[in-house]
Amino acid sequence: MAVDPDNLQDACPTTTTFTPQTIHINGFPCKNPNNITAADFKTSRLNHPGDTDVFVRSSTTIVTAADFPGLNTLGLSVARTDIEVDGLVLPHSHPRASEMFFVSKGVVVAGFIDTKNQLFQKVLKEGDVFVFPRGLLHYCLNAGFENATVYSVLNSQNPGVVGDRL
């Protein structure tokens, strides 16, 4: 079973400076605790829509511990998905994470298929939340008349993605 280990300290923002004394937690070195600041726990990478000028008319920006220092050892990743009218996110799975899917704007159909080939699908409106269990094939599509924006939280700092490419 692939899961993130429990924290060993309160915080362990990722450092970009490596020294012989660097301690590695979950594969990422921790910043010196004396140099941790509030800026380590903030990101603006999800402020703007992604480029949806592609065949599937959607874009997902995922922020993991690799690019957001404050996520290191917390067992979390966060994503923003922008979907144009009639756009979709191709079926894919996250082998190391479940996903909580929050519709911020628009109307989205979201669903997943379990290991018995049973389909679980719902129409989601602004404010609705849907969850995708770890490792199961899931997808979403814009079912409304305006662009949709969805935010996701995944319970792994490195959730992985399988099967989302054309």
Say whether 99 counts as a known binding-site residue: yes
* 21 CB burial (10 A radius; 0-12, 13-18, 19+): exposed
Say whether 48 counts as a known binding-site residue: no
Cβ of 43: how many Cβ atoms within 10 Å?
15
* Residue 105 near residue 142, CB atoms below 8 Å: no
Using CA atoms, how far apart are residues 35 and 12, in angstroms rounded to an integer? 11
Q: Under 8 Å CB-to-CB from 92, ≥6 apart: which residues?
A: 137, 138, 139, 161, 162, 163, 164
Cβ of 50: how many Cβ atoms within 10 Å?
17
Residue ranges of the binding site for Mn(2+): 92, 94, 99, 138
Residue positions forming the annotated binding site for oxalate: 94, 99
Q: Which residues are annotated as a binding site?
A: 92, 94, 99, 138
